[in-house]
Structure 1
Amino acid sequence: MLQPLVAVSTDVRQFENYTWHAAPQQYLEAAISGAGVFPVLVPSFGDRLDLDELLSSVDGVMLTGSKSNVHPSLYGGDASEANGPYDEARDATTLPLIRKAIERGVPLLAICRGIQEMNVALGGSLATEIQDRPGSLDHRAPASDRQDERFAIRQPVSIKPGSCLAGVFGAGDIMVNSVHRQAVERLSPKLQVEAVAEDGTVEAVSVKDARAFAVGVQWHPEYWVNSDSASATIFRAFGDAVRAHAGARLGARTAAE
């Protein structure tokens, strides 16, 4: 099968007197080499976009990580400068895209900011500066100028028995990286926990009774997709779900003809 199209979220950034809608290359590389799909960047124009038309044309959605955080006004949090930076144009695009993708059964993989967007889009809330909570590990990246050190695989997470990811990895622990200072606080009633860190921080979720693969992870599998087995496994599972959706769409279209 040809590479099916996957919609990829974008950040809005100001650079050299232009406004850019962009995604980091690591996610795009992982989509191509790890999932075997064709990533298509979705500009963050909110309700100016016909997301139903988009989801009729793609077979998956991938939400990238970002330096920005979901705006706290969307879940009743403190919209202070300390909890930023923010990207409200991205919020206005990804949150409705998440809801529509789930409703239509389009496979969804949400990474880092993406898992937080999933939780907020479906009625949950976020905790900020989690490293300051009593008993919490420091989930932020190690201080370094080298990206390989910042994204080093260093933290175990426990996969819940019987979960969606247990079907992907098997139950038990896998090793992941950790580059975040926010996390799920109040879990959306539409989500279930897939994996937790040693301190109980939610590290992965899935949509209850989802029609297709719909998973969010707090770590960064895109960074080591070509060298780490667990990172490769989740992208392969996402790619398989995308191809299954593409095949089902093709079959339905052929039957209608």
Structure 2
Amino acid sequence: AIRDVVDRLIPAYRLLIKYTTTGEFNISIILPTSLSVGSERLHHSLILTNSYNGRTPFSIQGQTLTTLLDASSQLGSSLYRSVCQNGLLGWADSFADLDTYRGWLDEWAKRTDKLPSARSNPSPARSTRTTTDIRTIHHRALTIERFQEHLSKLLLEHLSAPPALTAVVYNQLQEAPLAGAQEGLIRKLPIPVQLAKQARDRLRLEERLLKEPASYWLLYNAVNYALFTSRSSLTLNDRYRLDERVFHQLVALAQA
């Protein structure tokens, strides 16, 4: 059902499917369009997540279909990075502009060490979706045809969306070199110790592969790689939540 919709709307794409040890999987639909971050080309993508055991509901770009069909929601961006074969979700997309996002990060830094969800600060620039809220539809009435109709509208909206704010932030991270105390910085990130070690090793590898000095961009990608490729009991939702927290924390440090 999903592939029929994608085939109809996106004539040229690649699929990458990854599985976890906890019975979950994500599907990256890699689009032909791309953009630059430093010397790299990143492809626009769509990330679909689901599970065989019910632990993770069907979601697009990290948001459930129920959430996305709410009029106040927004389908964020994602970019596929071939160096690590991972999709990066647009954690800054819910903000209206860069100044709004920076202001939110500044307020967080003054208040607490714990980062609140960016989704509690919706962008006032979001368009209003008129699609019937799926929560008003009984699950027995949600046929494959109706599901495909909702999915088609979401994907069309996504494909026609303007450039996302997160891509701008990525370039800023790429231009921000890491200071000397990298070990201390990695230890302070909200990830398990073993994943921090894997991220440190991945950072060193990417420095050699890309022949570039360490930057906040490479560190974020190293953590993302460790989160989504490690054999861990973390669910995909857990990994996405940690990825979002790490992203915002590194952006805050890079602009400090």
**What's the TM-score bracket when you normalise by the shorter of the two chains?**
under 0.3
Please say which structure displays the higher CA radius of gyration: 2
Q: Which has the higher contact order (CA 8 A, sep 6+)?
A: 1
TM-score with structure 2 setting the length? 0.27
User: Which protein has the bigger helix share?
Assistant: 2
